[in-house]
Structure 1
Amino acid sequence: MNKKIAADIRHVLSMYRWRILAALLCLVTAKVATVAVPLVLKRIIDALSHPDQLSRLPLYLLAGYALLRFLSTLFNELRDLLFVRVTLRTVATYAEKTFAHLHALGAAFHAKRQIGGLLPDIDRGTSGIAFLLGVGLFTIVPTLIEIGLVLAIMLTRYSAWYAAIIVLMFVAYTVFTLLFTARRVLYQRRVNKLDSGAKSQLADSLINYDTIKFFANEALETARFRTLMQGWTEAGMGNQRALFTLHVGQSLVIGAGVAAIMLLAGDEVWRGGISVGDLVLVNAYALQVCLPLNALGFVYREARDAWVNAERLFQLLREQPDLPDSPSLPRLQAGGGDVVFEHVSFHYDPARPILRDVSLRIAPGRTVAVVGRSGSGKSTLARLLLRLYAPTGGRILIDGQDIAQLSPGSVREAIGVVPQETALFNDTIGYNIAYGRVGSTFEQIVAASKAAHIHELIAALPDQYDTAVGERGVKLSGGEKQRIAIARAILKSPAILIFDEATSALDSDSEHAIEQELDRLSRNRTTLIIAHRLSTIVRAHEIIVMDRGRIAEQGSHKELLRRGGLYAHLWLLQQRDAETLHRPSS
């Protein structure tokens, strides 16, 4: 555990120090009552061993015996009631911290993460932290208190051999538990790894449900999952065999210790050194020591498992964001939305450059379209402008400010995006549109929907704007989702707009209507259009043609056609495809 994580835990504990102290007081009181029960029981048995004295048996001993047992339970329950808020708050704090941290991590991390394996890691990690938090207070401390009190009573009232046997049993139990638990941790790590792998496979398979159906590969997916589960089963069996050895060994140590104590006590009763009540007392204390000793072994084993479970969470929290959004970073002072790329280069892998020395400017209120073959670097320009990635060379300016020196969040607040693939939250249509500007009124949401030409469709639904869209918007068509994304961008009303194939999922009639609305929306705003269909960008003020990460051509639609270069070639190919598509079949 690094210093920051330890400091976080100390901070949470300091918030509830009085509650923790009260829980400790209840704990000590419960243990004192537990240890006092055998003392009262001894006196009752000794009194009952003499029939002639039964008439003088004090009733307070019987009542006290029952009361002590009740108090032991009562104060243990009060301890749990007081401490549960501390545990729950700590778990909630770490869940919130992990949630925020995952959103702070960059696009590179999320491009390689597997959501199906990430979620169980987080769940196991927070549960492990909750267990570790209660271990020290509720198991180790009370066990040591109980063993200490028992040893003190045994040393003051009986032969030192009883205490010696208890100490020897404690040492043997501890050594055995440490050695065999260390071996078992290896199995637990393997079980966790295979479990996360199986969860990842399950999530990935369900996400790609349609693809599996298209290729009728349900049996293949089941076979792959079965292989993973077979490995998980074998690892679990190995883990259980190690646990069997551990439990049997622990029970053997405890059994040998109790047998030695009872043989010694029985011999003393036979010789008249102690009474039958003393024998019961010694037996009760021997068992009373064994139970917490067994609890210590259980807790140590579970604590090691909990630590293994928390390892992945701590590792996740140590991941550093590629582009940290620190409160100390200056915020973008948005003006007209003047965007400048100065000699920008970028690569994920140095051996495969994506952009090479790209320079362009999108003046305030102007629309620039970027076109080119797949893989030419078009969409990368948008990702760099949004600060999802940082350029490996050059810089990007917005209104004269280098965005590398600014808060990434403030940069994104000034930009509206309509992506090619729209992912919606598993909530209502109204919620997804309102996400563009938190706190929007219903009237504003409706106005944005009308501008995106989707209001009529929503109004025809039984639940209208309260209609659930399903996970990632699966209940809507591609065109409907894209129009919701457009409505969301309209509602945000940003200074800079990015359209990444914004009409690719629309039919021709809807595309024409939406293009007119996008033209209106783009008016007096800086707009970057990433396009594949050249017919959608003929009205752009300037068109940038990308080829292999470089700017091959730039100019207006008419200028580029007159040059007869790459743009003219792409235009001709698309016009031929359109003619072929609309030509009547013979």
Structure 2
Amino acid sequence: MADDSSFPSSSSSALPTRLWTTVRRILRLAWPYRWRLGGAVLATALGAMVALVVPLGLRELLNAVFETANRALLDRLTLGLLVLFVLQALFSFLGRYGLEWTGERVVTDLRKRLYAHLHGQSLRFFANRRTGDLTSRLTNDVSSVRDAVTQALAESFTQVLSLVGSVALMIVLNWRLSLIIFVVVPVVTAAAIGFGRWIRRLARTLQDELADTTAIAEESIAGIRTVKGFARSAYETSRYHEAVERLFDTAHRKVWASALFSALVGFLFFGALVAIFWYGGLEVLAGRLTTGDLVAFIFYAFNIARSVGGLSRLYSTLNSAAGASERIFQLLDEPATDTDPSGMPALPPINGAVAFDHVTFAYDPGTPVLHDLSFAVPAGQTVALVGPSGAGKTTLMSLIPRFYDPQSGSIRVDATDIRSVTRQSLREQLAVVSQDVHLFNDTIRANICYGNLDASDAAIEDAARAANAHGFIAALDDGYEAAVGERGVKLSGGQRQRIAIARALLRDARILLLDEATSALDAESEAEVQDALTRLMESRTTFVIAHRLATVQDADRILVLDDGRLVQDGTHDELRTQPGLYQRLADLQFREGSDASASP
């Protein structure tokens, strides 16, 4: 962390190039709204030009009072200044509104684009990243782009215009007096570059640490039952506090750097103003400058000070925004791995036959999890996947919806290689019920109809009845409109499973994937869920993962996996009589069950 926050050295010379590369990418985000943005910049620029005329008006007004004592001219000049102020206010409103609108529009578009990009990534992508970090990029980092669009990019143009215009008019008024400003501006520019690099690195570190803090909080809150169950609230609180303190430490250094820079700029320019007062007074006394000229000159000096100070703040803002934007662009530059090439055909309606042909798969290259698997499942057959933990059962099932693709071999559905059709069309004809049911923080109705968003109320209720869920739903105060809470926390495990089964029934898919759907339930809940599963499995090709063999005895076929290899294939009765892994597992489980039932 020290390297990120230390004052920049010569190794930082590459930063301006990276900064402007990031700036160009931010500008491209605003390109669809270039006319509105251009109009806003033009309005702001016109306001800046009006502001440049104001000191000249004040000069004439003061000269009218002190030099000519002309009352009529004084009245006309006062009215003219009032008109200038009205125009400046109008242009300021139009410019600010246009800039803010563009910034919010860019942020909205970027959030939608980033969120869609995340949904185009595979499960492998999410397995390697923390949810809190992704959430932070989607919220905190994206908001930083708004500052870049509304302030650092657009306002810098008007600040430069004000700076250049003020310098030009100062030279016209008195070139000798202008030399004082010309000494200060290069010093401030050099300081801005150095401090800007420093602040940019601190901003990047700050966003990373904010993402870490968000991830810690999100993980702890999501796992609050585990936290409280192991009495680890104090530990999680301490962990979060440490992360927040690290965040504060970096934020403190960033604030310190920005404050130091602003103070330095202010000191240089106010020192220059003192020099201008002194030398300008000498020029008035010598008769080379009128009182009005001196006042106008001082106003332009203030304009320059404000413009340079504004540009320095904008440069700091731009560096901060660029630091956060880099994290967004880093994510957007990740190739989408769960999307299909354009023009790929959709999978036609299927019967449900599934075949694995010499399939080998590895999460990490060189370490296969599945080895040369080959088997064929006719449509409508129920297949149980059995084996010890780590045998590859869940991985095998994850290949069917193309959550992952095998390194070699092929998987076919009704003789169609699933890699030759779109993922969407494949997954629309599958339904998944897992042990860890995910319910959205919405109503029961919304969670059931997630299986078919166009389902009627009658179809939703029919699916709930078939899943043995209508009874407990009807007993709730709000019935189908009852909220289930975060991840379904307001429902029991058995109730959540039955909601998931109703969702799968409503989908009416030809292929059904059941991953330990009853293993975490008590006997009564398991009986109700199993009864619902039996209805769900009728006439569907079903893959069932189960560690308890008693739940798969009636399967049409059992595939026994060990260390990623298919070691046995047959019915329960066939495998029960064959020496091998299934027989050992069955002997162990049924003996334990018999011992348990015989114990007092």
Tell me what 2:123 maps to.
107
- Establish whether residue 234 from structure 1 lines up as the match of residue 249 from structure 2: yes
- Establish whether residue 64 from structure 1 lines up as the match of residue 75 from structure 2: no
- TM-score (normalizing by structure 1): 0.94
Pairing partner for 1:563 from 578, 590, 594 = 578
- Establish whether residue 387 from structure 1 lines up as the match of residue 417 from structure 2: no
- Establish whether residue 87 from structure 1 lines up as the match of residue 103 from structure 2: yes
Amino acid aligned to 1:263: W
Assess, with a 3 A threshold, how the Cα gap between structure 1 residues 350 and 326 changes in structure 2: closer, same or farther.
Answer: closer
Tell me what 1:245 maps to.
260
- Establish whether residue 202 from structure 1 lines up as the match of residue 217 from structure 2: yes
Deviation at 1:274, TM superposition (A): 1.4
Q: Deviation digits for residues 357-379 of structure 1, max 9, x if unmatched?
A: 11111111111111111111111
Does the Cα contact within 8 Å between 1:9 and 1:90 map onto a contact in 2?
no
Deviates more, 1:534-543 or 1:324-333: 324-333
Tell me what 1:421 maps to.
436
Does the Cα contact within 8 Å between 1:38 and 1:285 map onto a contact in 2?
yes
Taking only the aligned residue pairs, the percentage that are identical comes to 34
Pairing partner for 2:305 from 284, 290, 301 = 290
Tell me what 1:329 maps to.
344
Tell me what 1:24 maps to.
41
Tell me what 1:193 maps to.
208
Q: Deviation digits for residues 558-579 of structure 1, max 9, x if unmatched?
A: 1111224322222222222223
Q: Secondary structure at the match of 2:512?
A: strand
- Establish whether residue 127 from structure 1 lines up as the match of residue 143 from structure 2: yes
Q: Within 1, Cα distance between the matches of 2:230 and 2:31?
A: 57
Does the Cα contact within 8 Å between 2:141 and 2:207 map onto a contact in 1?
no
Deviates more, 1:10-19 or 1:499-508: 10-19
Assess, with a 3 A threshold, how the Cα gap between structure 1 residues 513 and 480 changes in structure 2: closer, same or farther.
Answer: closer
Q: Within 2, Cα distance between the matches of 1:323 and 1:422?
A: 22
Tell me what 1:523 maps to.
538
Deviation at 1:196, TM superposition (A): 1.9
Q: Within 1, Cα distance between the matches of 2:238 and 2:528?
A: 48
Q: Within 1, Cα distance between the matches of 2:101 and 2:33?
A: 9
Q: How many residues are treated as equivalent by the alignment?
A: 583
Does the Cα contact within 8 Å between 2:200 and 2:322 map onto a contact in 1?
no
Deviation at 1:14, TM superposition (A): 4.6
- Establish whether residue 450 from structure 1 lines up as the match of residue 445 from structure 2: no
Q: Within 2, Cα distance between the matches of 1:287 and 1:4?
A: 33
Q: Within 1, Cα distance between the matches of 2:300 and 2:593?
A: 91
Deviation at 1:171, TM superposition (A): 2.0
- TM-score (normalizing by structure 2): 0.92
Equivalent residues in 2 for 1:341-360, closer than 5 Å: 341-350=356-365, 352-360=367-375
Q: Within 2, Cα distance between the matches of 1:580 and 1:7?
A: 72
Does the Cα contact within 8 Å between 1:104 and 1:325 map onto a contact in 2?
no
Q: Deviation digits for residues 38-65 of structure 1, max 9, x if unmatched?
A: 1111122222225x83544442211222
Tell me what 1:141 maps to.
157
Amino acid aligned to 1:569: R
Equivalent residues in 2 for 1:152-231, closer than 5 Å: 152-156=168-172, 158-231=173-246
Does the Cα contact within 8 Å between 1:124 and 1:310 map onto a contact in 2?
no
Deviates more, 1:362-371 or 1:518-527: 518-527
Gaps of at least 5 residues in structure 1 are none
Q: Within 1, Cα distance between the matches of 2:203 and 2:153?
A: 25
Amino acid aligned to 1:202: A
Q: Secondary structure at the match of 2:351?
A: coil
Assess, with a 3 A threshold, how the Cα gap between structure 1 residues 116 and 263 changes in structure 2: closer, same or farther.
Answer: same
Q: Secondary structure at the match of 2:577?
A: helix
Assess, with a 3 A threshold, how the Cα gap between structure 1 residues 20 and 457 changes in structure 2: closer, same or farther.
Answer: same
Pairing partner for 1:53 from 55, 59, 69 = 69
Q: Secondary structure at the match of 1:563?
A: coil
- Establish whether residue 399 from structure 1 lines up as the match of residue 414 from structure 2: yes
Q: Within 2, Cα distance between the matches of 1:295 and 1:247?
A: 9
Deviation at 1:463, TM superposition (A): 0.7
Q: Within 1, Cα distance between the matches of 2:151 and 2:243?
A: 33
Q: Deviation digits for residues 254-305 of structure 1, max 9, x if unmatched?
A: 1233233323211111111111111111111110111111000000011001
Equivalent residues in 2 for 1:434-583, closer than 5 Å: 434-583=449-598
CA-based RMSD of the aligned residues comes to 2.3
- Establish whether residue 377 from structure 1 lines up as the match of residue 392 from structure 2: yes
Assess, with a 3 A threshold, how the Cα gap between structure 1 residues 302 and 9 changes in structure 2: closer, same or farther.
Answer: closer
